[in-house]
């Protein structure tokens, strides 16, 4: 039996004994306060004198109350003491605080699975200041984690709801098996049709299944790692530059993306007219058109369309300037 259920059962049994005992003494002629006092002193074996003399019926009732009530009280006190010693109450209160924290979160990222891939994802997200909720079925793996956590089977919709999927910005499915990642992708897409879902694939054959299940992007860590190793062998300086820019949080320069909203003041203008480089100092690396086509090193006459994505390189201040320029120009 779960510790919290044992506590509830023990307290309910103790309350039932007190109610029955109080009702019995009221029937024997006590007023309610005296009956409650007599019941509590009897059940707790305090040993104070009777509030009023008891007849034969009262004595028999008190004997029965002692036999039943003392055992119930001892059981309740032992369960509470065990919970305090073993930390079950502290764990429950901590879980309640965590649930309230998650309920207040919006725009966070849910990471499903605390393995090597999940841990690496959380480390990067934390380094750039993103709020994260981690889900794993093993509570021992989540101990000491400095992020919001949910213990449970991620294939259960209720667990996803507890992680705040209704308010999340994105979900990363980094479970151990491709089958589990397909299942959680299907469940997440059903709960949030507009959610950004990134799924891990161990095998290339699973990529198409995950995409059909609703994943926006599928990553194969082994394939990515192999390609990066090959890139370091062939073009080490290029590979290291890209690696540092994307993942080294101590570097001033960053690459970020900016989606052009439907009400952006840049709509209908060209990149030359927008003067992003002259205005902010950031370097515009590429434009992704709404059709999905990438334009690397785009020409100045390239028109700016709604839902196009601008990819820029610059310092934090320069990128903030791009963000303001795209939204407020």
pLDDT digits (tens, 9 = 90+) for 152-179: 888 889 999 999 999 999 999 999 899 9
Q: Which pLDDT score, from 0 to 100, does residue 195 have?
A: 94
Q: Which pLDDT score, from 0 to 100, does residue 184 have?
A: 94
The domain spans of the chain are 3-86, 105-219, 252-328
Confidence band of 91 (pLDDT split at 50, 70, 90)? low
The domains spanning 3-86 and 252-328 adopt the same CATH topology: no
For 5-41, give one letter per residue: b (16+ CB within 10 A) or e: ebbeebeebbeebbebbbebbeebebeeebbbbbbbe
pTM: predicted TM-score of the whole model, two decimal places? 0.63
Sequence-distant (6+) residues with CB within 8 A of 68 are 17
Round to whole Å and give the CA distance between 318 and 285: 14
Q: Are 123 and 183 in contact (CB under 8 A)?
A: no
CATH class of 3-86: mainly alpha
211-234 pLDDT, tens per residue?
999 999 999 988 888 888 898 898
228-251 pLDDT, tens per residue?
889 889 888 888 887 777 766 666
Domain covering 252-328: architecture: 2-Layer Sandwich (3.30)
Q: Which pLDDT score, from 0 to 100, does residue 48 have?
A: 67
CATH class of 105-219: alpha beta
**How confident is the model over 284-295, as a mean pLDDT?**
90
Round to whole Å and give the CA distance between 217 and 201: 10
Q: Spell out the alpha helix ranges (H) of the chain.
A: 3-27, 32-43, 56-86, 88-103, 116-127, 139-142, 157-162, 178-191, 207-213, 221-234, 236-247, 271-274, 276-280, 316-328
Q: Which pLDDT score, from 0 to 100, does residue 29 have?
A: 85
pLDDT at 135 over 70: yes
Beta strand pairing status for 283-288 and 294-296? antiparallel
């Amino acid at each position: 039996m779960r510790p919290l259920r044992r506590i509830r059962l023990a307290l309910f049994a103790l309350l039932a004994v007190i109610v029955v005992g109080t009702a019995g003494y009221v029937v024997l002629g006590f007023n309610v306060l005296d009956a409650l006092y007599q019941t509590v002193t009897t059940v707790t074996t305090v040993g104070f004198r009777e509030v009023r003399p008891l007849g034969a019926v009262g004595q028999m009732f008190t004997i029965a109350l002692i036999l039943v009530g003392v055992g119930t009280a001892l059981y309740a006190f032992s369960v509470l003491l065990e919970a305090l010693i073993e930390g079950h109450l502290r764990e429950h209160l901590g879980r309640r605080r965590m649930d309230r924290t998650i309920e207040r979160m919006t725009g966070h990222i849910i990471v499903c699975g605390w393995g090597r891939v999940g841990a690496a994802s959380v480390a990067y997200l934390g380094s750039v200041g993103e709020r994260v909720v981690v889900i794993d079925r093993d509570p021992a793996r989540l101990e000491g984690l400095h992020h919001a956590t949910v213990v449970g089977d991620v294939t259960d919709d209720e667990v996803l709801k507890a992680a705040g999927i209704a308010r999340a910005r994105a979900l990363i499915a980094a479970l151990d098996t491709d089958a589990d990642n397909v299942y959680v992708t299907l469940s997440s897409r059903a709960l949030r049709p507009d959610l950004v879902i990134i799924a891990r694939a161990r095998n290339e054959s699973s990529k198409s299944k995950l995409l059909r299940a609703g994943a926006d992007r599928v990553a194969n860590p082994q394939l990515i790692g192999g390609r990066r190793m090959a890139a370091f062998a062939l073009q080490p300086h290029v590979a290291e530059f890209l690696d540092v820019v994307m993942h080294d949080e101590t570097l001033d320069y960053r690459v970020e993306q900016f989606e052009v909203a439907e009400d952006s003041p840049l709509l209908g203008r060209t990149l030359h007219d927008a003067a992003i480089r002259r205005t902010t100092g950031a370097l515009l690396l590429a434009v992704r058109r709404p059709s999905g086509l990438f334009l690397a090193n785009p020409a100045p006459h390239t028109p700016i369309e709604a839902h196009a994505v601008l990819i820029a390189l610059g310092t934090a201040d320069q990128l903030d300037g791009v963000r303001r320029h795209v939204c407020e120009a």
